[in-house]
Structure 1
Amino acid sequence: MRLKHLELQGYKTFAARTDFAFKGGLTAIIGPNGSGKSNVADAIQWVLGEQSFGRLRAKRSEDMIFTGSNERARMGMAQASLTLDNYDGWLPLDYGEVVITRRAYRSGENEYYLNGTRVRLRDVSDLLAQSGLSKRTYTVIGQGLIDQALSLKPDERRALIEEAAGITGHQAKRETALRELDETRHNLERVQDILGEIEPRLRYLKVQARRAEERMQVQADLDTQLRIW
């Protein structure tokens, strides 16, 4: 799997539709200060589901949208699309190419799409987590991250390495499974308590039902004898 295209429209400084093609090998995006190089990296993180505005160098969702210039009016929506080559089946989808799209509106609403079909953020996150390409696996390494990692405490560095290796996702699933197992155990104990409360009552009702049946049988026998007489 590899990144083939990044298409931006209305995203930060990219008002017009702009397509970045990533061919095999290394690709360098160069340009003067203020030309939008960092915004390209931000856009990749954004499409992958990043929710931290700090990591996206923004304060709110609306900051993703082109604010306008002397030549162009501000836009009402930002859109970014990643096209991934999936012919090796790295992503668990039956598509040779997978297009992930995210849109942001000035209302604060965000939309997510997989190959043109609208999905939830959770759907995108779960898909990427299965492939090790989630928003927090350090697919995109920002400036200063290496220096920051070297200054971490051992426990913090281990947590960072586990997160980058994708272990964190498995740990989260394990914790969720253990929590659900614990809830199931509590529910089972509650059911057993309820059964313990109603079993004596059930036994009493069974005795009463048997006596009622016996009385009905005696009454039926008596009615038969009366008709014979």
Structure 2
Amino acid sequence: MHLKQIEMLGFKSFPLKTTLKFSEGVTAIVGPNGCGKTNILDALRWVLGEQKPTLLRGGKMEEVIFNGTHQLKPLGMSEVTLRIINNHGVLPTEYHEVQITRRLFRSGESEYLMNKVPCRLKDISDLFADTGLGAHSYSVIQQHMIDAVISDKAEERRFLFEEAAGITKYKQRRKASMRKLEATENDFLRLKDVYAEVKTRVNSLYRQHKKAERYSKLSNQIRDWELHLGSSRIERLQREKRELRADFDSFTEQKLNSETTLDKAYACIETERQELLDVERNMTQLGNDIYSITEDAHGCERESSALNEKTTNALRLIEKNTEDIKALDNRAGVLKDQSSKTYERLDERQ
């Protein structure tokens, strides 16, 4: 088994698709500082499932995506594809060539593909377990890992030795089994709680069932009594209906008799109304005659008043004329005396 090639697109300092092919034997990558040599090693660890951004020389996982330069825009996705030749059957798969792909988007979503088929990170980890190839295996050694190998602390060297001895897979399986056992125990405890809760509900449902039975029994009894009362009420209503029908027939007959009597009364009233109209016409005629006589009397009274007034005026005029005559007679006497005196004076003068 050996590494065939690695393809990088948008990973750190590789904005364009970059393919590195590895031939059999030793392949060395040389270049000045900052040209991206370590980024290739980071890409190899990242595609194999590395989850700690600090081991990739970053603060967060999104920093592995190309962030742009003055000439190039930032990318929204980072993708690394690793191709491995499985010529000796080291990998537990039937494929001669295995292709592993990992993608990361700026939204935080990530994808894993094995031979262009979506898969889980666990599937990739299980594939490379005890093969010496993995995110934390001895096939990918960085500077801090060299320090751990030559360190005096056995705990720091133990991981690499266990990986080389091929027991890491069993330890991972043991951890997975322990996690499953803990999950099973938690599920069992939860099952007890659920059982207790369900038992409580069952008891409650049993009590409700008994209440429902009593309710059904009482409901049937109530329905029977309601039917009995309903039938009794129907019989009573029918009896009352017959009595009311008889009363209605009697009242109908009385109504007919009353209508006959009423028609006769209406006929008499009509006759009396006609007679009353004749009387009213006669009274109207008499009223008109009385009005005419009254108007004539009023006219006579007015004429009498006028004549009386004229008579009074005439009497007053007669009295006045009489007084004038008397005054004239007196004046005539006076004048006569004066004339006599005058004549006497004339006679004397003559």
**Partner residue of 1:151?**
151
Asked if 1 retains the 8 angstrom alpha-carbon contact of 2:83 and 2:100, the reply is yes
Asked if 1 retains the 8 angstrom alpha-carbon contact of 2:15 and 2:66, the reply is yes
Post-superposition Cα deviations, 1:102-138, rounded to whole Å, max 9, x if no partner, equal 0111011111101111111111111111534222222
Post-superposition Cα deviations, 1:159-195, rounded to whole Å, max 9, x if no partner, equal 44224444232123235446767958x97xx99xx9x
Worse-superposed segment, 119-128 or 86-95:
86-95
**Are residues 152 and 49 of structure 1, via their aligned partners in 2, closer, same or farther at CA, if it must alter by over 3 Å?**
farther
Asked if 1 retains the 8 angstrom alpha-carbon contact of 2:112 and 2:119, the reply is yes
Post-superposition Cα deviations, 1:23-78, rounded to whole Å, max 9, x if no partner, equal 01110111111100000000000000011111111111211110101111110000
**Partner residue of 1:48?**
48
CA distance in 2, matches of 1:26, 1:114: 26
**Partner residue of 2:135?**
135
Runs of 4 or more consecutive aligned structure 1 residues displaced over 6 Å after TM superposition: none
Using CA pairs under 8 Å that are at least 6 residues apart, name the structure with larger relative contact order, 1 or 2: 1
Helix, strand or coil at the partner of 1:131: coil
**Are residues 180 and 35 of structure 1, via their aligned partners in 2, closer, same or farther at CA, if it must alter by over 3 Å?**
closer
User: What RMSD, in angstroms, separates the aligned Cα atoms of the two structures?
Assistant: 2.5
Instruction: Kindly indicate which of the two structures has a greater share of residues assigned to helix.
Output: 2
Q: Percent identity?
A: 46
**Partner residue of 1:33?**
33
Larger Rg: 2
**Are residues 10 and 176 of structure 1, via their aligned partners in 2, closer, same or farther at CA, if it must alter by over 3 Å?**
closer
CA distance in 2, matches of 1:136, 1:34: 24
Instruction: Kindly provide the amino acid, as one letter, of the partner of residue 2 in structure 1.
Output: H
Instruction: Kindly provide the amino acid, as one letter, of the partner of residue 91 in structure 1.
Output: L
TM-score by length of 2: 0.50
CA distance in 1, matches of 2:159, 2:92: 27
**Partner residue of 2:123?**
123
**Partner residue of 1:24?**
24
**Partner residue of 1:173?**
173
**Partner residue of 1:15?**
15
**Are residues 134 and 59 of structure 1, via their aligned partners in 2, closer, same or farther at CA, if it must alter by over 3 Å?**
same
Helix, strand or coil at the partner of 1:151: coil
Instruction: Kindly indicate which of the two structures has a greater share of residues assigned to strand.
Output: 1
Which runs of 5 or more structure 1 residues have no equivalent in the other structure? 195-229
**Are residues 24 and 160 of structure 1, via their aligned partners in 2, closer, same or farther at CA, if it must alter by over 3 Å?**
closer
Instruction: Kindly provide the amino acid, as one letter, of the partner of residue 12 in structure 1.
Output: K
CA distance in 1, matches of 2:141, 2:53: 16
Helix, strand or coil at the partner of 1:72: coil
Post-superposition Cα deviations, 1:147-167, rounded to whole Å, max 9, x if no partner, equal 333224224433442244442
TM-score by length of 1: 0.74
CA distance in 2, matches of 1:3, 1:71: 33
**Partner residue of 1:60?**
60
CA distance in 2, matches of 1:115, 1:157: 34
Helix, strand or coil at the partner of 1:111: strand
CA distance in 1, matches of 2:83, 2:94: 15
1:176-215 aligned at under 5 Å gives the runs 176-177=176-177
Which runs of 5 or more structure 2 residues have no equivalent in the other structure? 196-350
Asked if 2 retains the 8 angstrom alpha-carbon contact of 1:137 and 1:166, the reply is no
Worse-superposed segment, 173-182 or 24-33:
173-182
CA distance in 2, matches of 1:88, 1:173: 24
Number of corresponding residues: 189
Asked if 2 retains the 8 angstrom alpha-carbon contact of 1:137 and 1:165, the reply is no
